[in-house]
A and B are shown apart, each in its own frame.
Chain A
Amino acid sequence: MFGYYLDLALRSLRRNKVLTALMIVALGLGIGACITTLTVLRLLSGDPLPQKSARLFYAQVDPYTKDGYVAGKTKPQRLMAYADAMNLLHAHQAERQVAIALTNAKVAPLRAGEHPFFSDGVMTTADFFTMFDAPFQYGGGWSAADDESRAQVVVISDFLNDQLFGGASSVGRIIRVNDHDLRIIGVLKHWAPQPRFYTQELGGRSYGDGDAVFLPLQTARAANMDPTNDDCWAVADTSKLETAPCIWLGFWVELSSDAEAAAYRQFLSNYAQQQIALGRFYRPEVALSDLMQWLRNEKVVPDDVRLQAGLAFGFLLICVVNTVGLLLAKCLRRSQEIGVRRALGAMRREIFTQFMVEAGMVGVAGGLLGLAFAEFGLWCIRHQPAEYGGLAHLDIHMFLLTFLVALVSSLVAGLLPAWRASRLAPGSQLKAA
């Protein structure tokens, strides 16, 4: 029976090619727009470390003064001062803890005659690589002892290794960063979690390529490398950021259970109280957000991207209403055919199914076309200047979703026409003929 419906649907669709083409193109455009924007939205709101994000937390305390402070309303500062980061780091109250700042690292060329260039650098502490699951191609990270002794070491990314050393193991080689010689102790495999969660508030991009060089925080500071972003609450000698009244570090901890998270939150709160007692702090607020919560707080997904997705759904809705209208027109035009079929014994249910099959076929065709439009849309986005542009690709989930959206929207569109068709009284239609 299903085969027969398919045959009938094909005949009917072929009978009025313009109308059919109109329906399929409109549906295809709506679906293409939706899938394009949804792919981007999913990409941008994704989990950068799915296996671990629930165990990673961003800690905040607030060293600012009473100026502009409203008790209970003011959120704690989003960055940390050096003294607090070091106190928390050395307290070892979490399984792992890491302080991070970003910097522009001037890398000297290895060959004479080439120009030096700037690379994205990360100034951090020993736990960074294990905590964020950054995989090594050659060598490894540095130790907490290296942090303290300002060891002249550096970890570089796969792409910098390719650029400077042609992809061979460069462990043990020396590169010159900010006019200081550093020994390479590790080379990462490709590592660029999206969104770039650890760069939030630190003055870096939210999406795109990974960072090129990773240095121990104190080594980098000794080499006069400045954080990309800092914020000071009083007149500050910014050449001595370690003691200046400035915040410029992000602080992450790894905690394996809710109980540990609760305990750490309590620890932060106690720390703030203790600092208030010492006269360093005025504000008692602290915060501890898990990775995904932190990304939501940071509003990492640009508003424009969410607006585009909303707009695309509005557009799809218009396309579906359009398809309802055109399907209805088509099916009412065939009143006589329906009358004949009913008179020959077809049940209402069968007429209904027949028209739903026709709507479904429009949906599948619209889905195929929508897929083409989505591929085109994503191609356009890849050629846009946006920092996430290069990442926009259709994956298997979105591929399947395309057909799901297509089928659902075409069947929803087909419901009303099919129901109307199945309600037609056979007698009057035959008489009219």
Chain B
Amino acid sequence: MEIRPILASLRKHRIPAVLIVLEIALACAVLCNAVFMIGQRVASIHWSNAIDEQGISVVTVNGADPKRASSEMPRNLVALRGIAGVTAVAAATSMPLDQNPALSPFVAKPDAQTTVNTSVYFIGSDGEQAMGLRLLQGRWFNADEYADSGFKNFSSTGHVALVTQSDANRLWPGQSALGKTLYTNATGWTVVGVVADVLAQDPKFSGPGGMYSSVFFPLQADGVMGDYVLRSTPQDRERVEREAVQVLGKLQPGAVVEGKTYAGMRSDYFADTNSMVWMLVLVCVVMLAVTAFGIVGLTSFWVQQRRRQIGIRRAVGATRGHILSYFRTENFLLSTAGVLIGLALAFGINLFLMDHYEMDRMPWYYLPGGAIALWLLGQVAVLGPALRAANVPPVVATRSV
């Protein structure tokens, strides 16, 4: 395909050509950044979490008398174990993603400093089973450790802890964490086990450094544990949650009892993110549609304006295919110019967003991705008008308009 006549014709219609280029450039710039934002958010919605998310329900008991906890909690746990389908029950202070962060800085030496906020979980006997933690190294807490560990001044009076794999790598890179001592405020605990990465209580707040930084302590029956964690099969979880709320509501009439499945907790945590994703998707789709219709409109006008020239070309021997490919090549040239400007613009917008918002650098492959999307969009949009042009009969050349 000869490009020179196309360029010559574009030079004569500079303003419409510039407008198409501009529109494609803007669409490309916005598209790259919007898709990047969608990608980041979708990735966060799917953050992995090494607990049995599908099988857990959590019932929270608030406002019970803490002094009576040591007698009430074992009774409550027995009652909950009696619910059909429950395979494990335990009490805990909090759960991943429950947005009620209890954070402490944990370090490998007594006098070291860190900016990482570690989520602290206290779990009662059987806690590892009820949450479905996955042990990678070492061992679980034993019965004595559960029975002898208390809670004072927001920390454990016991001597042992479980850490996540991320923390094990952060605190003791290249070494086994087992048997090492974990410190906060100059108090130390021995690491007895390493578990697969569990999400923080509020990973968006903890940030990339702290989202998988979690530590688990054993705890005897203590009123500070307000969550009852129940594990069942995914099919049973809704019923288990309902029955557990009824059971605890009867046993603790003076307290506020609320239940949720863990799947529900997760979708609550990401509800905002989810609606932002949908809004971004909607904007992208509508924007691409507007751009496509803009190309259709301008090209149609162009075709109509050049009916006579098209007729003449057809009369002197050009086939329909020639006319079709003329308009498609023209659109390809305009798209290319638009995409090149658009990519520079997309990169600039990304830099601006990195400066002003918590945004990462866009990986390079978003740029060619956006470029290909707009090339395709241009080709699809131009097809209709180009076909109409190809159907112009040669006889038009002999008519005056």
> Which residues of A are in contact with B by a Cβ distance under 8 Å?
19, 22, 26, 29-30, 33, 67-68, 104, 106, 108, 115-118, 178-179, 232, 234-238, 303-304, 306-308, 311-312, 314-315, 317-319, 321-322, 324-326, 328-330, 332-333, 384-386, 416, 420, 432-433
CA–CA, A318 and B256, complex, Å: 53
Contact B290 A29 (CB under 8 A): yes
Contact A178 B294 (CB under 8 A): no
Residue of B nearest to A330 (CB): B301
Q: What are 30 A-B pairs at a CB distance below 8 A?
A: A26-B294, A104-B62, A106-B62, A106-B63, A115-B256, A115-B257, A179-B254, A235-B187, A237-B153, A238-B153, A303-B357, A307-B37, A311-B34, A311-B280, A314-B30, A315-B30, A315-B290, A318-B23, A318-B27, A318-B287, A318-B291, A321-B294, A325-B19, A325-B20, A325-B297, A326-B297, A329-B16, A329-B300, A332-B301, A333-B305
Contact B297 A116 (CB under 8 A): no
B1 at the A interface (CB under 8 A): no
Which of B49-57, B69-77, B209-217, B270-278 lines the interface with chain A? B270-278
Contact B62 A234 (CB under 8 A): no
Residue of B nearest to A116 (CB): B256
- With A315-B286, A433-B401 already in contact, 9 other A-B pairs whose C-beta atoms are closer than 8 Å: A106-B62, A235-B185, A236-B153, A237-B153, A304-B276, A306-B357, A333-B305, A384-B271, A386-B272
Q: Report the minimal beta-carbon distance from B356 to chain A, rounded to whole angstroms.
A: 8
B279 at the A interface (CB under 8 A): yes
CA–CA, A68 and B185, complex, Å: 14
B234 at the A interface (CB under 8 A): no
CA–CA, A329 and B295, complex, Å: 11
Partner of A325, one of B23, B271, B280: B23
CA–CA, A105 and B272, complex, Å: 27
| A235: B residues at CB distance < 8 A | 153, 155, 185-187
Q: Report the minimal beta-carbon distance from A206 to chain B, rounded to whole angstroms.
A: 13
Residues B175-229 near A (CB distance < 8 A): 185-187
Per-residue CB proximity of B282-303 to A under 8 Å, as 1/0? Answer: 0100110011011001101110
Partner of B294, one of A108, A304, A322, A433: A322
CA–CA, A386 and B113, complex, Å: 36
B355 at the A interface (CB under 8 A): no
| B353: A residues at CB distance < 8 A | 307
Contact B297 A318 (CB under 8 A): no
| B283: A residues at CB distance < 8 A | 33, 311-312, 315
Contact A67 B113 (CB under 8 A): yes
Contact B154 A236 (CB under 8 A): yes
Per-residue CB proximity of B239-256 to A under 8 Å, as 1/0? Answer: 000000000010001111
Q: Report the minimal beta-carbon distance from B205 to chain A, rounded to whole angstroms.
A: 12
Q: Report the minimal beta-carbon distance from A75 to chain B, rounded to whole angstroms.
A: 15
CA–CA, A304 and B277, complex, Å: 10
Partner of A19, one of B37, B297, B357: B297
Residue of B nearest to A178 (CB): B63
CA–CA, A118 and B255, complex, Å: 10
CA–CA, A26 and B291, complex, Å: 9
Contact B275 A326 (CB under 8 A): no
Contact B271 A326 (CB under 8 A): no
Partner of A234, one of B37, B185, B294, B401: B185
Listed residue (A68, A232, A312, A324) with the most chain B CB atoms within 10 angstroms of its CB: A324
Contact A321 B297 (CB under 8 A): no
| A106: B residues at CB distance < 8 A | 62-63, 256
CA–CA, A116 and B254, complex, Å: 7
B171 at the A interface (CB under 8 A): no
Contact B304 A322 (CB under 8 A): no
CA–CA, A119 and B256, complex, Å: 11
Q: Report the minimal beta-carbon distance from A76 to chain B, rounded to whole angstroms.
A: 18
Residue of A nearest to B358 (CB): A303
B26 at the A interface (CB under 8 A): yes
Contact B401 A232 (CB under 8 A): no
Contact B30 A311 (CB under 8 A): yes
Contact A420 B62 (CB under 8 A): no
Residue of A nearest to B292 (CB): A322
Per-residue CB proximity of B356-395 to A under 8 Å, as 1/0? Answer: 0110000000000000000000000000000000000000
| A324: B residues at CB distance < 8 A | 19
Across the A-B interface, the 6 shortest Cβ-Cβ residue pairs = A329-B301, A322-B294, A106-B63, A385-B271, A325-B19, A314-B30
Partner of B15, one of A68, A315, A328, A385: A328
Residue of B nearest to A383 (CB): B275
| B34: A residues at CB distance < 8 A | 311
| B30: A residues at CB distance < 8 A | 311, 314-315, 318
| A178: B residues at CB distance < 8 A | 63
CA–CA, A68 and B111, complex, Å: 12
| B187: A residues at CB distance < 8 A | 235
Per-residue CB proximity of B13-47 to A under 8 Å, as 1/0? Answer: 00110011011001101100010010000000000
Partner of B256, one of A118, A234, A312: A118
Q: Report the minimal beta-carbon distance from B209 to chain A, rounded to whole angstroms.
A: 15
Partner of B26, one of A238, A321, A433: A321
Contact B15 A420 (CB under 8 A): yes
Q: Report the minimal beta-carbon distance from A172 to chain B, rounded to whole angstroms.
A: 25
| B22: A residues at CB distance < 8 A | 321
Residue of B nearest to A303 (CB): B357
| B298: A residues at CB distance < 8 A | 325-326, 328-329
Contact B293 A22 (CB under 8 A): yes
Residue of B nearest to A68 (CB): B113
Partner of A117, one of B186, B256, B272, B302: B256
CA–CA, A22 and B186, complex, Å: 69
- Check A115/B249 contact, CB under 8 A, given A26-B294, A321-B23: yes
- Check A317/B26 contact, CB under 8 A, given A178-B63, A326-B294: yes
| A308: B residues at CB distance < 8 A | 276, 279
| B358: A residues at CB distance < 8 A | 303
CA–CA, A306 and B256, complex, Å: 37
